[in-house]
Each structure stands twice: as structure tokens, then as C-alpha cells.
Structure 1
Amino acid sequence: MKKETFLAFVGFFLLSLTTVVYAVEEKAKTVTISEQKADITGDTELETILLKGVPYQEEEDFLKEIFIEIKASNGKKYTFPLESGAKASFQLVDLNHDGVRDVLATVQTGGSGGIVLSFLHSLKNFVHTDLTVPDPVEMESRFVNDYKAEIKIKETGKTYPFDLKDRKLYYKKLGLYYKGKLNEPTELMVNSYSSLKPVELGEGKLGLKGVQRIAGIANADTICFVESTWRYLNGKWNLLEVKVKKEAN
């Protein structure tokens, strides 16, 4: 192959590659998931709040990028990145009790655990503050002998026992127990929030209620749900109440 012919071939290849990359980038269009107009700065003027995402080409239901875009009344644009996920939504609620609504965004991860990721932002006086939602409740969990389990809430120190004899055959088949005794120490599956939503606290104040699902040896092996109620006070989230239930509300 002559040098001129080789160089021409290389040039054509590079041009083709650039065209392919450009075409891929062109397909990665940003989509608007939802939009609201409201005053979230406290100046009585309306901002435009948009929830946007960039879907994967091969899986349009899953968004590889998700972000909040705010077109503020001062002419500036603010962008708050979120995490990737299957679905996303947002609502405007005053959770830090400063008289101005905050942006609470939720992203569903799309996994079998049903986990949601939440993000909370304030733009009062055009100053961005990441309020950060409360961490999930910390707890110790384990299976115990005689087909039972227990969880202990670290914050309160309270322990909750569970009788799982109705799953005896299932656990024996999996080798978790032998003649009622646990074969080896085994923790439960403590999931992060499957739900984190605003809740009335009284006196016109709002807080957050989180729900965590506790499972046995698989996500389908649900043992209980832990509900936690939180209030934002003095610049941080305070745990008000914890309830442990066998069924989710």
C-alpha cells in the first residue's frame, strides 16, 4: 500500500470515528421529567424548577444522569446534581422551617431492594444550602437460635424479637439452621430507605418519615419495617420516633 493511500485511509477512519462519536453524543438528549413554578428564594417572585435526566440509549427507562435545574428570578441558573436511577420526582416543601419551600428530590435506584435516594436543597435568598436528608436508622440485627431473629435500634437501645418458625422448612433447606440451632452467626439484611416523605409534626411544621425494610436471607424474605420520624432543628436532623412493624403502612 502506498504511503498516500495509507494516509488517506487513516484519515477516513478517524473521520468516521469522529462522526460515530458525534452521533452517539447527539442521541444522549436531556429530557425534562417534571417542571414547577414557585417562589423558593423568598423574594415573592417565581422560579422555574425543572427535573431533568439523560437516559441510557439501550435502556431509556434508566437515567444515567439526573439533576435539578432552577431558573431563578435573579436571572441566574442553579443546577443540583442527583444520582442515576430508574425514576425521579421532586416536591416543594419547607422542611427547615425558615418560611421558604425547599426542593426535596427522590430517585428510585431500580434494584430489587426497592431503595430510594433523597436529596434536599434550599435556595433561600439565592444562597444554595444542601440540607442533606437524615441517614437511615442504625441498628444491629441477627438471626438467633430456635428460628428467631432480633434487631436492636442503636439510638434507643431497644431490642425487638421476631419468631420465624413459619419459615422453618425454608431456613432448614438453605442450611441456615440445623435442629433449631444457627449454623453460623448471620446478620439480617438492613436496607436503606424504601420511602422518605414529608409528614405533619403539628403546629404547621413538617418533618420526614422514613421506612426501612429488614429482610432475612434475601430481599423477598421480609421480616419487618422500621419507621423513623425526623425533624430539622438547629441545623441538623433529630430523630423523634422509631416504630417497628411487621407490615408496611
Structure 2
Amino acid sequence: MKKELLMTFTAFFFMSLTALTGAYAGESREKTVTVQEDKVDVTGDGKKDLVYVKGVPYGEGAQFLKKIYLKIKASNGQTYKIQLDGGYDPSTEYKDLNRDSVKDIFISVPTGGSGGLSHFYLYTLKDFKVANLTVPEPLSANSQFQDGYKAYLSIVETGQSYNFNLSDRKEDYDRLGLFHNGKLNEPTELMVLPFGTLKPIKLKGDHYGLAGSQRINGAYNADVIANLESSWLYNDGKWKLLNASAANLGSR
């Protein structure tokens, strides 16, 4: 009986090992590409670290990367890996955004969607400790189409308000049924998108911050009304809004 149990256990062990080996082999066969490679001190010890952005294409010849990760071979001999969301053509910038005298790693990953959106990340590896500094939340806004082919928008964080004259889009809006004889058919908000762009900028002195832009659309994605612009400074462990404005793009 003991012999039979031993044989059963042994068979089960080798079957499990085979399954695990097969799964590992499947993962290892995924084609990984290096999108960017940089030598920069991101730990603050004065020595260059190797920073890679790598990805796994969705398929042979595909530009979309279904898996993206940041890989850092630090000067202490350790390797750090940070998983990111999939997308197209990721890129990195190295700026001291949290003002601790060590360069941080800012990553943008375009999603490729019609809204022109991207994923954004900010990490520090100071003293060989990985920390996610996060990025600012997009601005919030209250908005509404109004009678007479007009629209209104108010930035929640600042209280700034803007009025848009959209009379040049009358034919389009009438065709869509948004308006009838200049009257709004039903309450309809504008579409305030998340950050389309977010990038490091130099502020006064030697400090760096982030500048963001959010698209404000009307009846559909191509119906762009304005851009919501903002600038941010990292202070005491959080992002502080410095400026915000809605830049009207004018008539189409």
C-alpha cells in the first residue's frame, strides 16, 4: 500500500512539474522588446543606473504593447521591475519633481484611442527604495450646453467660469438633434477628458513641476471646444495646483 501511494505521489509530482515547466516556457517565448534604455543616476548615490523600458507586442509586427514594464539595474547590483499598463510608444523623462535632489522617473504611455489619452507614472528610487509618487488627478469641471448654441464651463478646483459661443456649429448640432430652433433639446454636458498630455516643466528657480492639458469636447470626440490647461508643483507629499485655465480653440 505504501509503495502504491509513493508511486501515485511521484507521478503527481512529475505531472505538476511538467505543467509548471510548460507554463514557464510559454511565458519565456513571449517576444520582449526594449523601447528605451538610459544611463542616469536615479538613486542619489552619484553612480549611473541602467533604466530600461521594455514591452511585449500584442502580436508579430504589432505596435501595441500588451505588457510594458520599467526595469532598473541599479548601482548596488539589484534589479527593480515596475509593471505598467499597455499602450503605444512609451517614453521616459528624468527630472527632480519631488525636490529631494534626486532625479525621478516620469513615464508616459499613449493609449492610442481616439481621445488622444495616455497613462502617466512617476517613480522615485532614492536610496534604492521604489516609491510611487503618483501624478495629479485631472481637473474636474461642471459644464452644460445652453440655448442659443452656447456652452458654459466652471472649473471645480478654482471656481473659474467660461462661456463658449458655438453658433458656427449650428448645422452640425441641428443635424444631430442637440438643438432645435436654437433651443437645447435636453440637458447635455460637455465631455471633459482626462489628461491628454502631462509633461515636466521648469518653474521659477530650479524647480520642476508638471503641466497638463485636458480636451473639452462637445457632441462627439472630434467636436473640440477648448483645452483645460493646468500646472502643478509637488509639495509636502502631494500635488498642488498652481494655475488652471480653459483655452478656447475658437471657430472651426
Same fold flag (TM > 0.5): yes
Change (3 A) 1:24 1:217: farther
Matches within 5 A, 1:22-171: 25=27, 28-57=30-59, 60-171=62-173
User: 1:205-226 CA deviation, whole Å, 9 max, x = no partner?
Assistant: 0000000000001110000001
Moved more, 104-113 or 79-88: 79-88
Q: Which runs of 4+ in 1 moved over 3 A?
A: 20-27
**What letter is aligned with 1:100?**
V
User: 1:144-197 CA deviation, whole Å, 9 max, x = no partner?
Assistant: 111011111001111101000000011001100011111111111111111101
TM-align CA RMSD: 2.1
Change (3 A) 1:184 1:198: same
**What letter is aligned with 2:134?**
T
Alignment counterpart, residue 206 of structure 1, candidates 205, 208, 211: 208
| Partners of 1:148 and 1:164 within 8 A in 2 | yes
CA distance in 2, matches of 1:21, 1:235: 41
Equivalent residue, structure 1, for 2:221: 219
Report how many residues are paired: 232
**What letter is aligned with 1:216?**
G
CA distance in 1, matches of 2:212, 2:38: 25
SS in 2 for 1:202: coil
CA distance in 2, matches of 1:222, 1:27: 44
| Partners of 2:198 and 2:213 within 8 A in 1 | yes
Gaps of 5+ in 1: 1-19
SS in 2 for 1:185: coil
Moved more, 201-210 or 52-61: 52-61
Equivalent residue, structure 1, for 2:230: 228
Gaps of 5+ in 2: 1-21
CA distance in 1, matches of 2:190, 2:106: 30
CA distance in 1, matches of 2:25, 2:73: 29
Deviation, structure 1 residue 132:
0.1
The percent identity for this pair of structures is: 48
Moved more, 147-156 or 21-30: 21-30
Change (3 A) 1:23 1:58: farther
